Amino acid sequence: MTRMKFFTQEVFDAGEHEDFRRLDEEHLQHLEGLQDQIPYYVRTLEKVKTISDGLVVRVGHDRIQKRMKLILRIGDSLYEYVDIIISYFDAEISAEDDLVLATIARTTTRTDFRFDLAAHELDFVDGKIEHRLMFHDNSLGDHDKKVFAIRCRDLKWRFVGRATRLLPDFADRYPNGPGR
């Protein structure tokens, strides 16, 4: 079972804003210590703070090419909404984490957002970049989180502007995920 290293369930349960600021700073310092393992352009993903409350728009996983694409709708009505499209190269995800991701993706509809992103963090584990993502389960209140991690050799990300938080209507947000 994947766990967050910095932004843990316990931190969210305590709900202290000072803890979040301190952990954010600790995580950024941790990333600076990994500058020889994680390129700068990858580490800048951690500075995208509007990623919280993100919704899974679509997931694609080419297991043969070992590529994965995760699209999240982020932002808010005061500023703007954007899709952040994260492409993972030489990607790996455990079977257990893949099921968590599939559950999050497949329970999200155009207007019903059972899961939204609570936090994410980057790390370097076993010679690969690890991107851990923690989602709130809104059906169970704020006390239950779902976490998964994607390991990769490299990742790239970009933004595409969107007019609203409403998601496209897909029959399956993770069509080539587990169980299909």
Question: Is pLDDT at 173 greater than 60 in this prediction?
Answer: yes
In this structure, is residue 180 part of a structural domain? no
Query: What gap in Å lies between CA 48 and CA 5, rounded to an integer?
Result: 18
In this structure, is residue 173 part of a structural domain? no
The predicted model scores a pTM of 0.93
- Tell which residue, 180, 4, 176, 26, has the closest CA to residue 91: 176
Least confident of 5-14, 57-66, 121-130: 5-14
Strand, helix or coil for residue 159: strand
In this structure, is residue 55 part of a structural domain? yes
Question: Is pLDDT at 14 greater than 90 in this prediction?
Answer: no
Query: What gap in Å lies between CA 155 and CA 153, rounded to an integer?
Result: 7
In this structure, is residue 1 part of a structural domain? no
In this structure, is residue 50 part of a structural domain? yes
Question: How many angstroms separate the first and last alpha carbons of the chain?
Answer: 22
Q: What pLDDT shows up at residue 159?
A: 93
